[in-house]
Structure 1
Amino acid sequence: MKRRQFIANTAGGATYMAMGSGILQACATDQKKHITILHTNDTHSHIDAIEANHPRYPNAGGVTRRAQLVEKIRRENEHTLLLDAGDIFQGTAYFNFYGGELEFKLMSHLKYDAATLGNHDFDNGIDGLYAQLPHAKFDFLIANYDFKNTVMNTHTKPYKVYVKDGIRIGIFGLGIQLDGLVTQKMYKETKFLDPIEIATDMSRILKEEEQCDLIICLSHLGYEYRNDPNKPSDMTVATATKNIDLIIGGHTHTFLERPTIVDNAEGKKVLVNQVGCWGINLGRVDFYFDSAKNSSAEGTSIIV
């Protein structure tokens, strides 16, 4: 059993996390492998940059700028994954006109590795979502939606293991309860499974059976519900489970300058991150592994 220790340092808008027997500086001297996780959430069909007269986010975002930023980071570190936490659809005329085709084509052009599904990804119905799948050259990961009796059956995966520089990275997805957010005729016979139970099972499989060195949950549950603490959220998943290293969230459009660090069910630390909406920010979390696969990490939110 490796002992893990996390250190938070909010200076400079980043979160620093050390895992292993030493502090971050000691761990850094033995860094061998560097994995970069980039992520977005709730882009809501925002292809262009936000208009110049917007009161809060003038000229922010835009897929072209995001592509340039992602490419720059990939040149710095080839061992990079690009992920999305759902609500790809709905929000601009691009979705109204193209039905999601453009969003998936552009994500494929940016070489996203995986995405999970949000409630707005069902806004053209499950058949509309299915119709756009040929344009998506990346994995859809969602473990707590049972699509058995729908057209989406076999077109998503509960999890996938990615290998970067010998580091095994297990990623699974969680979606929000669709009932109450989406009319039943839109998602048809999709069944919602308890996200805490599924996260517990997925993280165990990835840790014990798949022997993953890094476990990531792609979540569209929402960051936190203080008025309803029993409602599943990223924070409740983090505290109720074990083995998860990073939760990348969506749905609540929560702007975090840096990942939140919380204790899991075993008292070990978990990073929880979300970067707002509309492609305004790009999340970045860097993990560093030494020869014994002890790791340190730093995370931040980058304005696009």
Structure 2
Amino acid sequence: MYNRRKFIAQSAMAAGSVLLGSRALHAASMDVAPVQYLTILHTNDTHSRLDPFPMDGSRNEGLGGVARRAALIEKIRGEAEHVLLLDAGDIFQGTPYFNIYNGEPEIKALTQMGYDAVTIGNHDYDGGIENLAAQMQAHGRFETIVCNYDFAGTPMENVAVPYKIFKRGGLKIGVLGVGIELDGLVPANLYGNTRYLDPVAKANETAALLRSKGCDLVICLSHLGYRYSGNKISDLKLAAATSNIDLIIGGHTHDFLEQPEVVRNKNGAEVIINQVGWAGIKLGRLDYRFERGKRGKVERANSLLVTKKTGE
């Protein structure tokens, strides 16, 4: 079993920094600024929650809402040098918006907020694979990324990609995605001919490819779930069984992690895992610093509560 280490405690002696891996930066050989910054913003399991929770005395009253999240994202974009905005799946299902409009407003909202990439959660199949493909094609202006679903012969075949490389300044950021096993979780008629492949094997293969292409940071968008009591593959197990992944942005289990988890991969390098609950209540933020010829550092990690105040 893994030792839980609070990210903030681990990084306190290094001015809030965590060293990521032992690989030299690709940017070191490029004519770029000696120090570069990257801000990663992320969500997961937003579940069609477009409006804030109602003011009804419940635990989450007044929290969330895409308008407030959009305002917070734009505020950060105005302050940060380079930003990457990502989601770890389960965009659909949870409010009448999905039941009535089949995911159209959810995908339009992600597009308008400027998401760069998402992966696919099990509930994203709730309208069927044909609906998922149609919504992404018609309204999505971001990458849909998953490497362990074989979509050959399905409507998603030309919609999803196994990975994408994003450039921010002189940095190359590789993003891959992994999805949970659908059999027994999603009715077979909804996911059709989608074939589930071993997420550890595919993640290792894809991360190695991204590293070979000179990526300074490799991110995995995961809808596997953070932790399980048995042998089921989780983000913790994935991190320990893989190489070349620096950061796992997780979903599915709706865990509100107070600070990111740090796990050693099979080569002894550190992998950061983060997840920010569900329903768009929080926006995850990780601020990276890259120095030429040195290893990347996370200088700050925050889970930002989305409220009326943050949306002002």
> TM-score if structure 2 supplies the norm length?
0.88
Contact 1:8 1:16 in 2 (8 A): no
1:260 is matched with 261
The equivalent of 1:205 in structure 2 is 209
Match of 2:142 among 135, 138, 145: 138
CA distance in 2, matches of 1:289, 1:43: 31
Counterpart amino acid of residue 145 in structure 1: Y
Alpha-carbon distance between aligned partners in 1 of 2:51 and 2:8, rounded to the nearest angstrom: 34
Off by >2 Å, runs of 4+ in structure 1: 6-16, 18-21
Q: 1:71 to 1:233 in 2, by over 3 A?
A: same
Give the Cα–Cα distance (whole angstroms) in 1 for the partners of residues 161 and 189 of structure 2. 23
Partner of 2:86: 83
Alignment deviations for residues 22-51 of structure 1 (CA, whole Å, 9 cap, x no partner): xxxxxxxx9710000000000000000011
Indicate the SS of the match to 1:102.
helix
The correspondence of residues 43-58 of structure 1 with structure 2, limited to 5 A, is 43-58=46-61
Aligned-pair CA distance for 1:19: 4.4
For the pair 1:181 / 2:181, whether they are aligned, the reply is no
- Using the alignment, how far apart are the partners of 1:149 and 1:8 within structure 2? 43
Amino acid of the residue matched to residue 304 of structure 2?
I
Distance 1:292 1:56, change over 3 A: same
Between 1 and 2, higher relative CO (CA 8 Å, sep ≥ 6) is seen in 2
Structure 1 residue identity aligned to 2:52? A
Go from structure 1 to structure 2 and tell me whether the alpha carbon gap of 1:104 and 1:54 turns closer, same or farther (over 3 Å shift). farther
Are 1:141 and 1:172, in contact at CA under 8 Å, matched by a contact in 2? Answer: yes
Q: Which residue is 2:310 aligned to? A: none
Map 1:34-183 onto structure 2 (within 5 A). Answer: 34-133=37-136, 134-183=138-187
Q: Which amino acid aligns with 1:141?
A: I
Which range moves more in the overlay, 85-94 or 199-208? 199-208
The one-letter code matched in structure 1 to 2:48 is S
Query: Aligned-pair RMSD on alpha carbons?
Result: 2.1
**CA contact 1:7–1:16 (8 Å) conserved in 2:** no
Maintained 8 Å contact 1:31/1:288: no
Give 3-state SS (helix, strand or coil) of 2:166's partner: strand
What letter corresponds to residue 275 of structure 2 in structure 1?
Answer: Q
Match of 1:284 in 2: 285
Aligned residue-pair number: 288
Provide the C-alpha distance between the structure 2 equivalents of 1:31 and 1:276, rounded to a whole number of angstroms.
Answer: 36
Offset at residue 130 of structure 1 (A): 1.5
Query: How far has the Cα of 1:78 moved from its partner?
Result: 3.7
Decide whether the 8 Å contact of 1:288 with 1:295 is kept in 2: yes
1:231 aligns with 2:232: yes
Q: For the Cα contact (< 8 Å) 2:6–2:259, is it kept in 1?
A: no
Query: Which whole-Å CA distance do the structure 1 matches of 2:37 and 2:289 have between them?
Result: 5
Is there any run of 5+ residues in structure 2 with no aligned partner, and where? 23-32, 307-312
Q: Cα offset for 1:81?
A: 0.5
- Tell me, in whole angstroms, the C-alpha distance in 1 between the residues paired with 2:198 and 2:153: 18
Q: Distance in 1 between matches of 2:239 and 2:16?
A: 17
Q: How far apart are residue 15 of structure 1 and its match?
A: 6.5
Range that drifts further, 31-40 or 90-99: 31-40
Distance 1:285 1:218 in 2: 14
> Any idea what the Cα deviations from partners look like across 1:124-170, whole Å, max 9, x if unmatched?
10011122121011000000000102111121100000010111100
The AA in structure 2 aligned to 1:50 is F
* Deviation, structure 1 residue 200: 0.8
SS in 2 for 1:9: helix
Identity across aligned pairs (percent)? 50
Answer whether contact 2:7 2:261 (CA < 8 A) is retained: no
